[in-house]
Structure 1
Amino acid sequence: MSTVQPIPPGMTSITPHLVCHDAAAAIDFYVKAFGAVDECRLPGPDGRLMHAMVHIGNAALMLVDEYPECGAQSPKALKGSPVTIHLYVPDVDATVARAVEAGAKVTMPVADMFWGDRYGQLEDPFGHHWSVATHIKDVGPDEIGAAMAKACA
């Protein structure tokens, strides 16, 4: 009987795996902007990162350099990304300010939202989209529905 865990320690069932143009620079950005912990970098023979991992809060984030010859293209190569990574933090205002100082662009200013989060959106220098939030109020489904109807009217 194996004692190996099906999900390794420190990992969750879902882990984003980002393709970046210059994954090493992206890791440096995530350390500055989001307080990421640089866990590992595995360069290939040509120096590009074949695998890297950071932890932001209690979540792992894997990264790799672009390998267009293998179909791995970054948002920069694709001219955008349909994916947004959501990040909960203790202080959204401080985190967004730190991310902007590190090179992110605000795409939606931080504000209190009807669903109970203080929330904003960023684009990092590598083309990845982030929503960043701090939960500030527990709101029930009926209250959220009524507030959404009013906001969308």
Structure 2
Amino acid sequence: MNESTVRVTPYLCAKGAAEAIEFYKRAFGAEELSRVTNEDGTIGHAAIRIGDAALMLADEWPEMKVLSPATLGGNSVSFVLATDDVDAAFDRAVRAGGRVERAVKDEPYGRAGWVIDPFGHRWCIM
């Protein structure tokens, strides 16, 4: 494997992926890159970009045991959104519908705050 071609892309599961895409646009300035809609109207696959990071997402697939944090009641992954203006980015995410988990404050590692998005994903804005 050539190191220059290695890339890890998070693949989120959301209960309401179409609504999640709209939230990420409002909260983080995401750009939608692609979307595949299933016959039942759910999203089978979508790609978005936030800054220089790509993320993929889809609706839940219970038959494959692909479930959202909202369904599972928690998550094991957090996302870090690094920005030059933590306070403005945090406020934007909250105004878009994010729930404050930890308000912005100066931490030993820098200024940061934590938001849970409406779909159960945890975001550290720093």
- Range into which the TM-score falls when normalised by the shorter chain: over 0.9
Match among 48, 59, 62 for residue 53 of structure 2: 59
Could you tell me which residue of structure 2 aligns to residue 82 of structure 1? Answer: 76
Moved more, 44-53 or 25-34: 44-53
TM-score scaled by length of structure 2: 0.92
> Which protein, 1 or 2, shows the higher relative CO under an 8 Å CA cutoff with sep ≥ 6?
2
Q: Distance in 1 between matches of 2:69 and 2:75?
A: 5
Could you tell me which residue of structure 1 aligns to residue 118 of structure 2? Answer: 125
Q: Which runs of 4+ in 1 moved over 3 A?
A: none
Q: Any stretches of 5+ residues in structure 1 without a counterpart?
A: 1-5, 134-153
How many pairs does the alignment contain? Answer: 123
RMSD (CA atoms): 1.3
Q: Any stretches of 5+ residues in structure 2 without a counterpart?
A: none
Q: Distance in 2 between matches of 1:74 and 1:114?
A: 31
> What is the CA-CA distance between 1:114 and the residue it aligns to?
1.6
> What is the one-letter code of the residue matched to 1:19?
C
Q: Which has the higher strand share?
A: 2
Could you tell me which residue of structure 1 aligns to residue 20 of structure 2? Answer: 26
> CA deviation digits over 1:53-81, x for unaligned, max 9?
11000000110001101111001111111
Match of 1:89, SS state, is coil
Match among 28, 31, 43 for residue 49 of structure 1: 43
Q: What percent of counterpart residues are identical?
A: 45
Q: Distance in 2 between matches of 1:128 and 1:24?
A: 15
> What is the CA-CA distance between 1:113 and the residue it aligns to?
1.8
TM-score scaled by length of structure 1: 0.77
> What is the one-letter code of the residue matched to 2:111?
R
